[in-house]
Every structure is written in C-alpha cells, then in structure tokens.
Amino acid sequence: MADILITGGAGYIGSHAVKRFLEEGHKVTVIDNLMRGFGEAVDVLTGYGDLTFHQVDLRNANAVRSVFTKAHFDAVLHFGALCLVNESMSAPELYFENNVYGTLNLLKAMKEFSVKNIIFSSTCAVYGESVYLPINEEHPKKPSNPYGESKLMAENIIKWMSQIYGFNYLIFRYFNVCGAAEDGSIGDSKKPSVLLLQNLVRGAMGIEEFELTCPKVDTPDGTPIRDYVDVNDLIDAHYLGFSYLEQGGASNEINLGTGRGSSVEEMIQEVEKAINVTIPRKRGDARKGESARLFASNAKAQQLLNWQPKRDIKKSVECLQKWYVARPNGYSY
Ligand SMILES: NC(=O)c1ccc[n+]([C@@H]2O[C@H](COP(=O)([O-])OP(=O)(O)OC[C@H]3O[C@@H](n4cnc5c(N)ncnc54)[C@H](O)[C@@H]3O)[C@@H](O)[C@H]2O)c1
C-alpha cells in the first residue's frame, strides 16, 4: 500500500484518479481549494477507502507545506490547475499565478520532504497549432493561449527541479478528456462545462441546450479536429505510470490520446447515432485561442507503459448517460 498525494482531487479527472487509487487499496490525501472542484465529489470518494481531504490552495506555500508534515508521500499526482482556454485569454495572470506558482510550491514541499515521484497533468495545448500530425512528444511547443503556456512553464520547472534535486517525473499531455466513471458515481461537473462530449450528452438527454462554441477553422467541415480520450483510459495510464516510477522508470513526457482525430461535426453525429436522437443546437460565442487540428501519436505511451486506450466514444457516452441520470446538474456543492 502506498501513500499518494493528489492535487485537484475534487475536480473532474483528479476525482477519477482518487477513486482508482482508493479502489487499488492505497491511502490517498487530496489537496483542493474547491475553486473549481466539489465537496460532494469528496464525500462520494470517501466511500471508496482511506481518504484524507485538505481544503488548501496550492498558491499558499505554508498550507501546502503543512500537508507534507502529516504523511510521507510515495508519489504526487498533480491535477490541480485552472484549465479553461477561453478564461485564460481574458485573465492570463490568473493562469500564470495559479498553474505556475502552485506547481512551484508543490515542488518546493517535495524537495523539503524528500518526496521523489511526480506525475503532472499537462495538455496538448502546449503544442499550439499542429505543424505535423499525429503530434508526437518532439513536436514544437508553441502554445496558442496563456493556459497552454502556463502548463509548458510548469513542465519546464518540473524538468529543471528534477534534474537538480533528483525527482522522477512523468509529464502526461492529455488530449481531450471525456466520459465519466463506469458506475456513473463521479463525473465532470464544470459549470458551464467546456467539454464537448459532456455537453453533447446533456443536449441529447434534454438537460441543457447544446451550444456550438467552436470557431470556424480550416478543416474539411470547418470545425476543429480533436482527439477524445476516455477518462477511465487516462486513469489506467496514471496507474501504469505510478508503477513505472515505483519500479525506477526514467523521467519522461508522454502523450495520452487515442491517435484518432474527430471534428466537432463528426462527434455530434457519433453521439446522435449512439443515443439515437437529433441534438438541437444553438450558436454560442466562438471561443478564442483554439487550434484547428490536434491529435496524438500515442506510440510512446504504448511502448513505455504498455498503455492502450480501450474505450470508444460509444462507451464514453454510455458512462456519461449514467452520470447525468444520477446527477443531471452535476454536484450540488
Ligand atoms: N479536461 C481536459 O480535457 C484536460 C485536458 C488536458 C489537460 N487537462 C489537465 O488536467 C487537470 C485536471 O483537469 P480537470 O478537467 O479535472 O479540471 P477541473 O477544473 O475539474 O479540476 C481541477 C481541480 O483543481 C483544483 N484547483 C485549481 N487550482 C487550485 C489551487 N490553486 N489549489 C488547489 N486546488 C486547485 C480545482 O478546484 C479543481 O477541483 C488540469 O491540470 C488540466 O490542465 C485537462
């Protein structure tokens, strides 16, 4: 049994990691300031095992440090960040302060308390507009928005501090994450959500009208092409990554995507087919800072971690339906 610290564990992806590590019998400590996470998620997760929750802001170095005085962590999974591209285009300072300074405080505490292993949630947004496809880890990194830049800065800080202080890291660059827990117990509760599949399923179920917010881009149908990876597959990769680091695997940066690009129009059709409804749509304000085409090469994840995505869009839609049947409006607190 290991002692795991998970930041952002009350948020969408982090809560799935908490559930999985608890189910595997590990002891989990969560840091979340509940700025975008939910107390109700923590309450649900408490039912899965040995969980300690600290409502702490990563920007508060002393508060972060005090969490490290309470346990010795075998690994840190760092999900805690702000991650709305559009918001970062109107308040960039918030993104640099939260995502960069928060990461720095965490690394400083790791150094002080000799915690060696970290898995960092990064993003395909560090690549910016694709120069070639599929995007591998060597692709140029030229973020198109302050969110991507803040994550790239955090990546570089992790790399430098690891080189100097001997941390072992995995930087996971997620592509577009979708889906919910297979038992429908936890899921994405962003209000409003910016995640396409979540919004499509809500639209299809008549919970909320679907708003098309993508800008017109240079693709065959004029809508952006993205790589949609199921959250349960993503968490499988984190579990494999944790074992990899425990066994002394070398630090690395790894894409987590399916390797398949789908346009927004294609995704609308896939969900309509899966649920057998026509999804009414309205035009919302077009988002800023969006790239036209992003999809991953996941060859490195397959080679280093023996990871392969197993769930297709139909499966993600099925889990989302369970989640929204249980909580049509997400968590209530
Ligand atoms: N959702 C995606 O498609 C996607 C894609 C690529 C990368 N990512 C990365 O994955 C991670 C998790 O994303 P998510 O979709 O679960 O987001 P989320 O907003 O649901 O979860 C993030 C959590 O971090 C917490 N948090 C934010 N700033 C904090 C701070 N200063 N102190 C303490 N807690 C803080 C929030 O309260 C929230 O619970 C992020 O790092 C994000 O950059 C997400």
CA distance 8 to 82: 10
Confidence of residue 317 (pLDDT cuts 50, 70, 90): very high
Closest among 248, 227, 272 to 123, alpha carbons compared: 227
Does residue 102's CB lie within 6 angstroms of at least one atom of ligand 1?
A: yes
What pLDDT score does 228 carry? 97
State whether the Cα torsion 55-61-63-64 is positive or negative. positive
Determine which helix (DSSP H) or strand (DSSP E) holds 283, and give its type and residue range.
strand 281-283
Which DSSP state fits 285?
A: P
Residues 45-50: contacts with CB under 8 Å, at least 24 apart: 45/9, 45/15, 45/18, 45/19, 45/186, 48/18, 48/19, 48/22, 48/23, 49/22, 49/23, 49/25, 50/22, 50/26
57-98 pLDDT, tens digit each = 999 999 999 999 999 999 999 999 999 998 999 999 999 999
Domain ranges of the chain: 3-177+229-256
Of 5, 121, 323, which is best to mutate to test ligand 1, by the most ligand atoms within 8 angstroms of its C-beta? 121
CA distance 24 to 122: 24
* Nearest-CA residue for atom 12 of ligand 1: 79
Residue 105's alpha-carbon distances to 10, 114, 206, in angstroms, are 19, 14, 43
Which DSSP state fits 10?
A: T
195-246 pLDDT, tens digit each = 899 999 999 999 999 999 888 899 999 999 999 999 999 999 999 999 999 9
Does residue 121's CB lie within 6 angstroms of at least one atom of ligand 1?
A: yes
pTM of the model: 0.97
Does residue 127's CB lie within 6 angstroms of at least one atom of ligand 1?
A: no
Determine which helix (DSSP H) or strand (DSSP E) holds 288, and give its type and residue range.
none
Q: Domain 3-177+229-256: give its CATH code.
A: 3.40.50.720
Closest among 166, 35, 45 to 97, alpha carbons compared: 35
Centre of ligand 1 from the C-alpha of residue 277, in Å: 31
DSSP 173-241: EE-EEE---TTSSS----SS---HHHHHHHHHTTSS-EEE-PPP-SSTTSS-EE-EEEHHHHHHHHHHH
Cβ contact 15:3 at 8 Å: no
Torsion of CA 312, 318, 324, 330, to 10 degrees: -30
Instruction: Find the helix packing angle between 39-46 and 12-23, rounded to 10°.
Output: 10
Catalytic site residue from 95, 127, 147, 169: 147
Confidence of residue 6 (pLDDT cuts 50, 70, 90): very high
Does residue 5's CB lie within 6 angstroms of at least one atom of ligand 1?
A: no
Pairing of strands 225-226, 176-178: unpaired
Cβ contact 254:305 at 8 Å: yes
Per the annotation, the verdict on 147 as an active-site residue is: yes
Confidence of residue 175 (pLDDT cuts 50, 70, 90): very high
265-294 pLDDT, tens digit each = 999 999 999 999 999 989 888 877 677 899
25-41 pLDDT, tens digit each = 999 999 999 999 999 99
How buried is 206 (Cβ within 10 angstroms: 0-12 exposed, 13-18 middle, 19+ buried)?
Answer: exposed
CA distance 181 to 168: 29
Question: What is the residue type of 304?
Answer: L
